[in-house]
Structure 1
């Protein structure tokens, strides 16, 4: 059998995707405080401390954007599983290598399409 053929257990893939989704949602709830706007209170926080807080907030917002993008990929992968299209590239419709799916079950494309070679 070729490594290019999608050899996966749909139930195991679904379980991994759902577990990662739950983990990302929990992380989002925990980090909500760090994404709140930084208040200007010069009595308790100096200018440099406020700048540090604003930088921390920006990093938390960027991390949240990455988390939301991964959650979207997970939701799309779960939809492909439900539709019976999971394991096939969304660009060229060729099988995604089993090792690639094992590494990240939310991957929507084969290596060629991800690198631009499949265009």
Structure 2
């Protein structure tokens, strides 16, 4: 893999990180504590708010996991190990990396 391809993957990963950060900023309000005052909000409205809060927290957890995968991929780029299977050390096909630059295994080892 040449330097231009590596730079393109780095740019794609960095852009995805920026998108995740933006999504986290938008989702912060949905994760706030739900007010349980029955005088201010009805029971069904509270249930909706609790469900929305749970979905916002789950989305935040998925973003955090994706962020970890991206940082790991950037670390592999910095270490010169990007694009190689962590199990067999063979090159991961470019098409597979194009679909998900965070993958760590070739098709043979990813499928089990």
Q: Supply the distance in 2 between the matched residues of 1:20 and 1:70 (Cα, whole angstroms).
A: 9
Computed over aligned residues only, the root mean square deviation of the Cα atoms, in angstroms, reads 1.5
Match of 2:48 in 1: 52
Contiguous gaps of at least 5 residues in structure 1: 1-5
In the TM superposition, what whole-angstrom CA distance separates every residue of 1:1-50 from its partner, at most 9, and x where no partner exists?
xxxxx577010010000000111011111101101121212112111111
Alignment of 1:38 with 2:25, yes or no, is no
Structure 2, unmatched stretches of 5+, are none
Q: What is the rounded CA distance, in whole Å, between the counterparts of 2:102 and 2:80 in structure 1?
A: 14
SS in 2 for 1:66: helix
4+ runs of 1 displaced by more than 6 Å?
Answer: none
What corresponds to 2:104 in structure 1?
Answer: 108
SS in 2 for 1:77: helix
1:78 and 2:74 matched? yes
Report the TM-score, using the length of structure 1 for normalisation. 0.86
User: 1:112 offset after TM fit, Å?
Assistant: 2.4
Partner of 1:69: 65
- Provide the TM-score with structure 2 as the length reference: 0.91
CA distance in 1, matches of 2:47, 2:107: 41
What's the counterpart of residue 11 of structure 2?
Answer: 15
